[in-house]
Chain A
Amino acid sequence: MNKTVLLIVCLILSVVGIVMIFFAKPDVSPQVLELSGTVVEVDKRADVTFITFIPDDLKVVSFGEGSFAKGNTTLRGRLQQYKGRLEFVLDD
């Protein structure tokens, strides 16, 4: 591949790449999220804890053994779908 051909191929690849990046609309959400807000209610059952968390209107669920106090905090976890509803499952 001589220098001119190399130049042309590289330029075409770059343009094609930019067009692809520009027009693709990926639906990607981070695997791990951090949410800051206030824990207003903690409902602990056998193996699972349900947390009411504002201002995000999300069902927050914990399968770990940690205890949660009411008040301002930052929660770390991932979004998961359960029975068609989006839940925020806390990392252990």
Chain B
Amino acid sequence: MIEFVLLGAFGGIIAGLIPGIHTNLVAVMVACAGFDAWFSCLFLASLASSRSIIDAVPTVFLGASSDVMSLHPAHRFLKKGFGLVGVRILVSGALAGLIVSFLLAPFLFIVLPFLQNLVKPVLFWLLLGVVIFLVLREGARAFVVFSISGVLGYISLSAVTEPLFPLLSGLFGASGLILSLFDGFDVPLQKTASNPNIPISRLSLFAILGVCLSGFLMLFPGLGPSQAASLVRVKSKTRYLLLTGALGTVDVIISLVAFVSIGRARNGAVAVMEQLVGSFDISALIALIGACCFSAGIAGLASVPISKWYSSIFDFVEYRFVALGVLFFLCVLSLTLSGLLGLLIFAVSAIVGLLAPLLGVSRSHAMGCLLVPTLLMLW
């Protein structure tokens, strides 16, 4: 049994380092592979956890741009030569998020059904309210990004068999890479000193905030970690990275808790687990959370040498070649998974994805691609 957890941890590390290989994509492959159902679930839980931690590395080192307006806070560290510090902050946030969500899991298990019953009758209006709040905060330009992404999502979701891959990797992955190619961004030499001094109290605070936000958004279909980070205004880039790091791992743990507690499969990996075993008892939930903890430990340990290795790639290879390679890989994957129409969706999504940084608003508004169809479905 432990070998599947170990395999999941290493699978998550590899998937996390390759842009575009999302947990949901691996989950679909696992569902088709026909392995033992329970071992597949352990593998997926472990993979999701380690991937959410190692994801810090490409988040910092890929998709950066010279344009200050479109810079992700992680890329600001990279531009100053402190990319390794950025990775360490994200990983610290992710581990803190995992520990806090692990400790709060019993509480969430009890509370989520009550919240679900409370929210259910007014789900549409609450979701609409959250969306309006998020969009209005950044004004008319955010509304433009949100509505165009929404129309694109509405059309794409019923157009091909695997629409999410070309849609999301186009909107969030390819657009950043294209922007960095056009403005001739190159990764500066990275400093090796990488010990950010973050007090435990601050780590805990942002981990708890991550659990609260993720637990709240768990009740709303279509809203994920990126919207959770947008709900609160965090101006300091270190704090923002702590929060986004925490949200990734918290989402994995809370998704498992929510599935057993309220029977809702929040993400693709849990949906595949549901398809494989139907339902879990508490013991299964404990084992799955255990797999997440084990895998997070492995990924956390691996993050230090891996981030140094990843950073050293740019000493030998020009950033634009890496970006072009990743773009080519995403194109091939879109074509393989969703056919020619998928490739078209990928291309259009990449162009739409450019709107947010060009208009100077948060990329998370492009999640309109899922939120608009969800709102229409709930209507």
Contact = CB atoms under 8 A, between A and B. Distances in A.
Interface of A: 1-3, 6-7, 9-21, 23-32, 78
Nearest to B289: A20
A26 B37 contact: no
B290 A21 contact: yes
Interface in B80-137: 88, 91-92, 95, 98-99
Contacts of A19: 290
B198 interface: yes
A17 B42 CA distance: 12
B275 A31 contact: yes
Given A6-B304, A31-B275, A18 B290 contact: yes
Interface of B: 1-2, 5, 36-38, 41-42, 88, 91-92, 95, 98-99, 195-198, 203, 274-278, 280-281, 283-284, 286-287, 289-298, 300-301, 304
A48 to B, nearest CB: 22
A20 B37 contact: no
B301 to A, nearest CB: 5
- Would you call the interface of chain B mostly helix, strand, loop, or mixed? helix
Nearest to A15: B297
A82 to B, nearest CB: 15
26 contacts: A1-B88, A1-B196, A3-B304, A6-B91, A6-B95, A9-B95, A9-B99, A10-B95, A13-B293, A13-B296, A14-B297, A14-B298, A17-B290, A17-B293, A18-B290, A20-B287, A21-B1, A21-B5, A24-B283, A24-B290, A27-B283, A28-B41, A28-B284, A30-B37, A30-B38, A31-B274
A28 B38 contact: yes
A3 B203 CA distance: 15
A78 B1 CA distance: 23
Contacts of A2: 195, 197
A7 B195 CA distance: 13
A15 B297 CA distance: 9
